[in-house]
Amino acid sequence: MKSDELYGLLRRRGFLWPTAEIYGGAQGLYDYGPLGTALKRRIEEAWTAWFVGRSEDYYRIEAADLLPEAVVRASGHLENFTDPEVACASCHSVFRADTVLEKVRPEGVDGLAPAQIAELVAERHVTCPKCGRATLGVPVPFNMMFGVDFGVTGHERAYLRPETAQSSYLAFPRMWEVGRKALPLGVAIVGRAYRNEIAPRQVLFRMRAFTQAELQIFFDPERFDVPIDAVGDEVLPVLRVPRREKGEESPEWVPVRELRSAELPDFYLFHLVHSYRFFRDALAIPKERIRLFEKSSTERAFYNRIQFDIEVHLESLGGYKELGAVHYRGDYDLSRHAAGSGQDLSVVTLDGRRIVPHVLELTFGVDRNLWAQADVHLGREEERTVWKLPPALAPVQVGVFPLLKKEHGAYARALARELQAAGIVAEYDDAGGIGKRYARMDEAGTPFCLTVDGTTLDPASAEAGTVTLRHRDSKAQERVPRAELAARIASATRLALAPV
Amino acid sequence: MKSDELYGLLRRRGFLWPTAEIYGGAQGLYDYGPLGTALKRRIEEAWTAWFVGRSEDYYRIEAADLLPEAVVRASGHLENFTDPEVACASCHSVFRADTVLEKVRPEGVDGLAPAQIAELVAERHVTCPKCGRATLGVPVPFNMMFGVDFGVTGHERAYLRPETAQSSYLAFPRMWEVGRKALPLGVAIVGRAYRNEIAPRQVLFRMRAFTQAELQIFFDPERFDVPIDAVGDEVLPVLRVPRREKGEESPEWVPVRELRSAELPDFYLFHLVHSYRFFRDALAIPKERIRLFEKSSTERAFYNRIQFDIEVHLESLGGYKELGAVHYRGDYDLSRHAAGSGQDLSVVTLDGRRIVPHVLELTFGVDRNLWAQADVHLGREEERTVWKLPPALAPVQVGVFPLLKKEHGAYARALARELQAAGIVAEYDDAGGIGKRYARMDEAGTPFCLTVDGTTLDPASAEAGTVTLRHRDSKAQERVPRAELAARIASATRLALAPV
């Protein structure tokens, strides 16, 4: 589906809508309704189970999203977290430089100095996208952080964090202290980050307040053991810099063992595989849609030593979009905060060396991935609209219907309660005909429906006590004894986690 | 325990610490470590299960925490969400008016005009709490919202929401549209709210960024049926206004049926009982510590028609503290937003009347309640420190130990994995002696510990395949067959939810 159609459907079903909609909305802000909230939480839980839950050394924390100025000064965000902004002298509209240069320089303006951008604008006779006149000025850096006056004095500033990662770096010394004082140590946050984007767009893709799931792994660069042999046969869809420079856009499939090199050390590769598998196995993204996109040294942030973006081809947005990434940030973050705070953030390894731990960051955009689940799995099929969500992500796990409200309603309600008591998200529905109820559940991504009918309640029937279990994807139906339902649905909606 | 001692313990165990601790912290901001995060999430889940999960008409949503200025203008926060602030002309320190007047007017300054406060300061010769001079000025209102420049123009403002409730009011029309178009309709949010407190204090009690769990029930004031008879025999610890005016501070125990009156309509009373029971039954607060504190018309916000605060007596803070409340807000909120947005927010009831729904708000401070769990349930007992958390709130549900790491480690690890696969939070620990491991788990509130020993692995023993289950509160031990463990622990750590 196209973006507008997809968004229309999500909005109509109450998955999401613009914040303060009755006031005309607020650019770049969205609210999630009941189904969207549940789906978002399932994605967050799946991410946590996958990246944090299987390790005894990794922990999830929760931190304030306001940070004192000293923190973002040390991290470099106060100085560098900017986008070049261009104003039109005629109509006073303001644009991101990459937007006004979109046609003449589709690859963006990363790495260009303001003077170079101004030169391009002049040379190529670029006009204001709004009024059409050639009155665009020289770009100025626009800091994308939201700042607030903190406290009553008017002298203190705080900033909404531009990335959750900063909170994890701040937590490192305390986590070291309360933990087992060994590396690797992983600190994960699922939480909000905020960016005053010049041009929010593409609904959940460039938001001004959004949810990130990020794991910072603090490690010893001389010793970060990973079971690389266990994943050596995995084949990855990579698009590396040399091929990109030849103009290639599609990935090539390369076995992990062939990617091992000094440039791509085992610890990095292992976590790239781990992230790729999350998209393929937990999020059920067809592997043909995934591209592991290597960023060159000029494209990535200067402190990143290695960066692959995990991209997924989205029909609604007409191309590959970044949904996650693996960043090897070296010791940049802890060194900056050590300098900024005057605290010693080095640690002593088990074999007695004093080091500043390095950081490997696994980052994941929760909102974007919610959108991707719709793009990839929601579609029209014959007469119906069906969202083939991975069962472990479904907001509602089972719909429970009486064939006839009057005759079978009480039994169906009791069945729904019984399933709920077993920890299953069961939704009772008796409105409209069975077909309409299936249609509602199909659109919401509910993998199973149960229907209670006369046979269920007929003591003379050989199938007494069974209900009809209907499968979303195949529409296949079967009769299942009530006593088996809870275990069967629980097992089918559980996230499969292979040991790492 | 005293506040400092409790905070020290929580900090040492990594439950929580000040945000940006290495930079000296940020007043009124705290981060949660692994155990604190898990406990906080359990409290949020318990609240959601209790107040939202049992109703087919109530929903949980998630909304952006930045709101455009028009929203907070309409809600009244731009004008009225202020505290009077007093500055000292000598040392330029700034104080909340109630702080400088603490000694001469312990009941606070709610309802006093700035001129009245200035008069009090002059009359009673109140001096600056910092420099001691009599140079305090006339109070000025200080708006407690954090505002940001929104977008690039510099003309647009947005505010961090001062209460999650506003997001629910904004969501009402869309929720009505996508739902079954009937009242009551409940919209719950568990999320952050922000207040630029003049004087943050008492750790989690007056924070600048905090988590609220709030349920807004939109209802028809002419028809809000509740099963009041089912709760008529419940006895509530109320402190009503007339008794307060006589100087009474302790509650009296009154049966619900005697409280029913025109002033305290059934729908209100029913939800007061429902909230009280949450504190008593789900949070396991001894009922002798709970006080339902009625606010008088001058104390409550002017739009609140009825307000009881749910207070709990906390030793660490030396008295009753507000941990939740039930507010009957009438049609104030939807009427204000209808006026502010120019949208018609009225709805047609099933029997054909057009009304602006009224709002009953159940509000709950998550951080405060985390503190209360420590205050009430964490203490020293003989030789140990033990946190007798309700099992359904425990961050770790079971500790799994090998008696001897070498001999029993593999079996214990496999057992921990098996329990984890069944959805139980099991933590393997083989560090130090068994006594130390019990002590760590006791402090963290883990209700059960399992120890694998020689008998477990001895095929010749009649107790082969059993492990020692140790109960936190009684320290009692028993041998339990491995096959029974998962079901037993799952059932003992499940939140008990009686039907409403």
Instruction: Collect all residues of chain B within an 8 Å Cβ-Cβ radius of residue A158.
Output: 26
| Concatenated DSSP letters of B388-399 | ---GGG-SSSEE
Q: Tell if the CB–CB gap between A22 and B423 is shorter than 8 Å.
A: no
Q: Which residues pair with B402 in a beta bridge?
A: B452
Tokens representing A177 are 């202290």
Select from B72, B52, B57, B64 the least CA-distant residue to B362: B52
Instruction: Collect all residues of chain A within an 8 Å Cβ-Cβ radius of residue B153.
Output: 94
pLDDT at B341 over 90: yes
Helices (H), A179-234: none
d(Cα A486, Cα A419) in Å, to the nearest integer? Answer: 6
Give the residue ranges of chain A where pLDDT is below 70.
499-500
Residue B9 forms contact with A (CB below 8 Å): no
- For chain A, counts of helices (H) and of strands (E): 16, 26
Sheet holding A448-452, edge to edge: A426-428, A398-402, A448-452, A466-471, A477-481
Phi and psi at A379, nearest 5°, equal: -165, 175
Q: Which residues pair with B148 in a beta bridge?
A: B158
d(Cα B359, Cα A209) in Å, to the nearest integer? Answer: 28
Q: Do residues B7 and A52 make contact, with C-beta atoms less than 8 angstroms apart?
A: no
d(Cα A343, Cα A109) in Å, to the nearest integer? Answer: 37
Q: How far is CA B110 from the centre of its chain?
A: 23
Q: What percent of chain B has pLDDT over 70?
A: 100
Length of chain A: 500
Query: Which of A12, A37, A85 is opposite residue B61, by nearest beta carbon?
Result: A37
Q: Tell if the CB–CB gap between A149 and B196 is shorter than 8 Å.
A: yes
Q: Which residues pair with B31 in a beta bridge?
A: B17
Q: Shortest Cα distance from B497 to chain A (angstroms)?
A: 9
d(Cα A435, Cα A449) in Å, to the nearest integer? Answer: 11
Strands B354-355 and B185-194: unpaired
d(Cα B73, Cα B80) in Å, to the nearest integer? Answer: 9
d(Cα B470, Cα B451) in Å, to the nearest integer? Answer: 8
Q: How many Cα atoms are found within 13 Å in the side-chain-facing hemisphere of B441? A: 32
Q: Shortest Cα distance from A347 to chain B (angstroms)?
A: 15
Cis peptide before B184 (omega within 30 of 0): yes
Q: What percent of chain B has pLDDT over 90?
A: 84
Cis peptide before B200 (omega within 30 of 0): no
What ranges do the domains of chain B cover?
Answer: 3-79+145-232+304-376, 386-492
| Concatenated DSSP letters of A117-183 | HHHHHHHTT---TTT--S-B---EEEE---EEE-SSSS--EEEE-S-THHHHHHHHHHHHHHTTS-S
pLDDT at B107 over 80: no
d(Cα A374, Cα A35) in Å, to the nearest integer? Answer: 12
Q: Does domain B3-79+145-232+304-376 have CATH number 3.40.710.10?
A: no
Residue B48 forms contact with A (CB below 8 Å): no
Q: What is the pLDDT of residue A153?
A: 81
pLDDT at B65 over 70: yes
- Best probe of the B interface among A13, A23, A43, by most B CBs < 10 A, is A23
Residue B149 forms contact with A (CB below 8 Å): yes
Q: Shortest Cα distance from B119 to chain A (angstroms)?
A: 23
In this prediction, residues B69-98 reach a mean pLDDT of 91
| Concatenated DSSP letters of B131-164 | T--S-B---EEEE---EEE-SSSS--EEEE-S-T
Q: What is the pLDDT of residue B433?
A: 95
Q: Tell if the CB–CB gap between B19 and A170 is shorter than 8 Å.
A: yes
- Entry pTM: 0.95
Q: Shortest Cα distance from A89 to chain B (angstroms)?
A: 14
Length of chain B: 500
d(Cα A446, Cα A394) in Å, to the nearest integer? Answer: 6
Tokens representing A78 are 């106060």
d(Cα B223, Cα B215) in Å, to the nearest integer? Answer: 19
Residue B258 forms contact with A (CB below 8 Å): no
Sheet holding B82-87, edge to edge: B94-96, B82-87, B140-143
Query: Which of A174, A341, A345 is opposite residue B23, by nearest beta carbon?
Result: A341
Residue B364 host element (H or E): strand B358-365
Tokens representing B127 are 């001096």
Residues with Cβ within 8 Å of residue A454, at least 6 apart in sequence = A403, A407, A408
Q: How far is CA B193 from the centre of its chain?
A: 12
Q: Tell if the CB–CB gap between B31 and A160 is shorter than 8 Å.
A: no
Query: Which of B32, B71, B209 is opposite residue A20, by nearest beta carbon?
Result: B71
pLDDT at B379 over 90: yes
Q: Which chain A residue's Cα is nearest to B341?
A: A23
First to last CA, chain B: 36
DSSP 8-class letter at B57: S
Q: How far is CA A122 from the centre of its chain?
A: 39
Residue B325 host element (H or E): strand B319-330
Q: Shortest Cα distance from B117 to chain A (angstroms)?
A: 19
Instruction: Collect all residues of chain B within an 8 Å Cβ-Cβ radius of residue A209.
Output: 64-66
Residue A65 forms contact with B (CB below 8 Å): yes
- Give the burial class of A242: count Cβ atoms within 10 A of its Cβ; 0-12 exposed, 13-18 middle, 19 or more buried: exposed
Query: Which of A64, A167, A196 is opposite residue B151, by nearest beta carbon?
Result: A196
Q: What is the pLDDT of residue B500?
A: 67
CATH of span A386-492: 3.40.50.800
Q: Shortest Cα distance from A317 to chain B (angstroms)?
A: 23
d(Cα B466, Cα B448) in Å, to the nearest integer? Answer: 15
Residue B180 forms contact with A (CB below 8 Å): yes
Q: Minimum mean pLDDT among A37-46, A167-176, B52-61, B475-484: which range?
A: B52-61
Q: Which chain A residue's Cα is nearest to B83?
A: A152
Select from B376, B212, B375 the least CA-distant residue to B287: B376
DSSP 8-class letter at B62: B
Q: How far is CA A500 from the centre of its chain?
A: 21
Sheet holding A235-239, edge to edge: A58-61, A185-194, A209-219, A358-365, A319-330, A306-314, A290-294, A235-239, A252-255
pLDDT at B134 over 80: yes
Size of interface A-B (CB pairs under 8 A): 204
Residue A40 forms contact with B (CB below 8 Å): yes
Instruction: Collect all residues of chain A within an 8 Å Cβ-Cβ radius of residue B150.
Output: 26, 146, 196, 208
Tokens representing B124 are 């009673």
Cis peptide before A237 (omega within 30 of 0): no
DSSP 8-class letter at A495: P
Contacts with A, B 317-336, CB within 8 Å: none
d(Cα A451, Cα A399) in Å, to the nearest integer? Answer: 8
Instruction: Collect all residues of chain B within an 8 Å Cβ-Cβ radius of residue A21.
Output: 170, 173-174
State the amino acid at position A406 in one-letter form.
K
Instruction: Collect all residues of chain A within an 8 Å Cβ-Cβ radius of residue B420.
Output: 53
pLDDT band of B111, cuts 50, 70, 90: confident
d(Cα A96, Cα A92) in Å, to the nearest integer? Answer: 13
- Give the burial class of A294: count Cβ atoms within 10 A of its Cβ; 0-12 exposed, 13-18 middle, 19 or more buried: buried
First to last CA, chain A: 36
d(Cα A190, Cα A45) in Å, to the nearest integer? Answer: 9
Q: How far is CA A336 from the centre of its chain?
A: 27
pLDDT at B318 over 70: yes
Q: What is the pLDDT of residue A98?
A: 83
Q: How many Cα atoms are found within 13 Å in the side-chain-facing hemisphere of A97? A: 26
Instruction: Collect all residues of chain A within an 8 Å Cβ-Cβ radius of residue B429.
Output: none
State the amino acid at position B430 in one-letter form.
D
pLDDT at B220 over 80: yes
Residues with Cβ within 8 Å of residue A273, at least 6 apart in sequence = A231, A234, A236, A256
Distances (CA, A) of A177 to B11, B401, B434: 11, 23, 22
Q: Do residues A213 and A350 make contact, with C-beta atoms less than 8 angstroms apart?
A: no
- A300 CB neighbour count, 10 Å cutoff: 19
Strands A140-143 and A82-87: antiparallel
Q: Do residues B228 and B204 make contact, with C-beta atoms less than 8 angstroms apart?
A: no
In this prediction, residues B177-199 reach a mean pLDDT of 95
Q: Tell if the CB–CB gap between A66 and B26 is shorter than 8 Å.
A: yes
d(Cα A387, Cα A373) in Å, to the nearest integer? Answer: 9
Q: What is the pLDDT of residue B99?
A: 82
Q: What is the pLDDT of residue B421?
A: 87
Instruction: Collect all residues of chain B within an 8 Å Cβ-Cβ radius of residue A495.
Output: none
Q: Do residues B169 and B217 make contact, with C-beta atoms less than 8 angstroms apart?
A: no
Helix, strand, coil percentages (3-state) for chain B, rounded to 5, are 35, 30, 40
- Best probe of the B interface among A9, A10, A16, A19, by most B CBs < 10 A, is A19
SS (H, E, C) A286-334: CHHHEEEEECCCCCCCCCCCEEEEEEEEEHHHCEEEEEEEEEEEECHHH
- A477 CB neighbour count, 10 Å cutoff: 12
